[in-house]
Structure 1
Amino acid sequence: MIVDATQLDAAHAYKLLIGSIIPRAIAWVSTRSADGVDNLAPVSFFTAVGRKPPKVSLSLQPRSDGVTLKDTFVNIRDTGEFVVNIATLPQADVVHRSAFEFDSEVDEFEALGLAKDSCEVVRAPRVKESPISLECVLDRIFAAEQGNDHVVWGQVVRFHIRDELYLDRGRIDTGAIPVFGRLAAEYNLVDNIFTTPLEQDVLEARQGRRMARLDGEPDDYSPIDTAGWSPSGSTRA
């Protein structure tokens, strides 16, 4: 199958992107509005873009109406700061629920029953239960040529790392973090580690094997095109 990307609308392009670029790390982004309301949302168009100084990138689509800017973007634009929290498997459901389109006046930490912790530099709170959080100040914003998509670069000014995860020589004990990523409209648990080359019998044993579902749904299940999914990264139900 060859798909001409120039003929796709935003929704169909989004489907192909999220199904092709897998797995994607999830930035659980906390912000505080100019009026002091705290917001929390998952962003899976997320990566590191610099080392010195360390920088991260977030790509933010508008709300599910395709027009209204998400609170996360508005807060970053207006205050110049945000926090990237790393979530683990026990937080998966609340991460998913934090993608709901709450009213801008709602404190999403309170709505989701999450504890806050203070940052050193930025005013936005971090998620207390997250093992790693990155305090970020706005570096720059790129606007898409069409539509209301934006890319935000933030400079990391503080790393908050749980003590038992911080190893000698400035390493993080990644094997101790039950982190999960984003596939298309689903999630995947990172539960194995390897270096290359792998033994041939290991490769042969896994050839053609599907991912194991942890939720009991059939192999061909996908939330895409259900009532709860939207091509904006927001969750409707």
Structure 2
Amino acid sequence: MKSFLPAELEIKNLYGMLSGSIGPRPIALVSTVDQNGAPNLSPYSFFNVFSANPPILIFSPVRRVRDNSEKHTLKNALQTKEVVINVVNWDMVQQVSLSSTEYEQGVNEFEKSGFSMLKSDLVKPPRVKESPVQYECKVKDTIALGENGGAGNLVIAEVVKIHIREDLLDEGLHIDQHKIDLVARMGGNWYSRASQGMFEVEKPILKQGIGVDQLPKSIRLSSVLTGNDLGQLGNLEELPHDSTVKDFITEYDLEDFIEENTEEQIHLIAQQYIQKNELEKALHILLAKQ
């Protein structure tokens, strides 16, 4: 492990460490207008949702490191108190990247990047037609986090109207996570396409798992089982009784297998069951060698 004190790093290196290790980050393609009504469009990956009631989104335009100047988006948000946050998916990622070009004040990034403007219903900034989800927002507050280059400015935006492409929604108003095909920012020039790396993890909400600490020491300290394996086992609601384990061994005719194999070999077999999400079988096999 190499350790650093932020104050001793050049800002460009510190920024690179932060953006290269915290991600993938969702992208807010933010549209604003200035006091004269001229539109501006720019993407921000220092962004997320922070509340559902009220619905609050926060993004952070960072002061430019090279000259400590502010982004046009921030200036417009401070002046008009309105923004539209457009969600970014795979079909628009190259145009989104183009919209991040630092054009002069007054240049229409909608036109430069080839995006279409849609009139918003409750705020003045236009929506991006190509975006699968668009949030019309009122700016509740802005918080400057510093005065030097690299300092963020939190724009706290309350959602006042949501627009979602109809084909993305099911009858329960759930968004299809494959169809929306979101992209996210990583470090340097790297992006991540969510639909190519998705997997499901059961939330421990409806039941209370025993926890990793309740697993026998030989399982907790296994040289084979990973942290993910232990996390899944710890999500089970109870340890099986000794009699249940014996019945399992008899039912599946595992006496010779348990006797002839080492603990490591048995853990490897159990791991295969974990990978198939057959957690109770895996735990019975693991406990058979106690």
Per the shorter chain, which TM-score range?
A: 0.7 to 0.9
Number of aligned positions between the proteins: 204
Structure 1 position 202, deviation (Å): 11
More helix by share: 2
Are 2:11 and 2:65, in contact at CA under 8 Å, matched by a contact in 1? no
| Counterpart check, 1:99 vs 2:104 | no
Structure 1 position 74, deviation (Å): 0.5
**For residues 36-84 of structure 1, what are the alpha-carbon distances to aligned partners after superposition, in whole Å with 9 as ceiling and x for unaligned?**
1111111000011111110011111123533221111011111001011
One-letter amino acid of the structure 2 residue matched with residue 196 of structure 1: V
Q: Name 2:192's counterpart in structure 1.
A: 188
Provide the secondary structure at the position in 2 that maps to 1:111: helix
Provide the secondary structure at the position in 1 that maps to 2:95: helix
Are 2:96 and 2:113, in contact at CA under 8 Å, matched by a contact in 1? no
Q: Percent identity?
A: 31
**For residues 59-111 of structure 1, what are the alpha-carbon distances to aligned partners after superposition, in whole Å with 9 as ceiling and x for unaligned?**
11123533221111011111001011112112111111111101111111112
Are 2:12 and 2:65, in contact at CA under 8 Å, matched by a contact in 1? no
Are 1:63 and 1:101, in contact at CA under 8 Å, matched by a contact in 2? no
One-letter amino acid of the structure 2 residue matched with residue 113 of structure 1: G
- Structure 1: how far apart are the matches of 2:55 and 2:139? 12
Gaps of 5+ in 1: 205-237
TM-score normalized with structure 1 length: 0.80
Structure 1 position 143, deviation (Å): 0.9
- Structure 2: how far apart are the matches of 1:135 and 1:73? 16
Provide the secondary structure at the position in 2 that maps to 1:65: coil
Q: Find the structure with the greater CA-based Rg.
A: 2
One-letter amino acid of the structure 1 residue matched with residue 123 of structure 2: V
Please show how residues 30-179 of structure 1 align to structure 2 within 5 Å: 30-63=31-64, 65-147=66-148, 149-179=152-182
**For residues 186-219 of structure 1, what are the alpha-carbon distances to aligned partners after superposition, in whole Å with 9 as ceiling and x for unaligned?**
1111124222378855998xxxxxxxxxxxxxxx
One-letter amino acid of the structure 2 residue matched with residue 153 of structure 1: I
Q: Name 1:228's counterpart in structure 2.
A: none
Q: What is the Cα-based RMSD across aligned positions, in Å?
A: 2.0
| Change in 2 beyond 3 A, CA 1:145/1:203 | farther
Are 1:25 and 1:182, in contact at CA under 8 Å, matched by a contact in 2? yes
- Structure 2: how far apart are the matches of 1:145 and 1:132? 31
Could you list the runs of 4 or more consecutive aligned residues of structure 1 that deviate by over 6 angstroms after TM superposition? none
Q: Which is bigger in relative contact order (C-alpha 8 A, separation at least 6)? A: 1
| Change in 2 beyond 3 A, CA 1:106/1:130 | same
TM-score normalized with structure 2 length: 0.66
Are 2:34 and 2:80, in contact at CA under 8 Å, matched by a contact in 1? yes
- Structure 1: how far apart are the matches of 2:147 and 2:77? 21
Provide the secondary structure at the position in 2 that maps to 1:156: strand
Provide the secondary structure at the position in 2 that maps to 1:176: coil
Gaps of 5+ in 2: 203-227, 230-270, 276-290
**For residues 13-33 of structure 1, what are the alpha-carbon distances to aligned partners after superposition, in whole Å with 9 as ceiling and x for unaligned?**
211110110100001111111
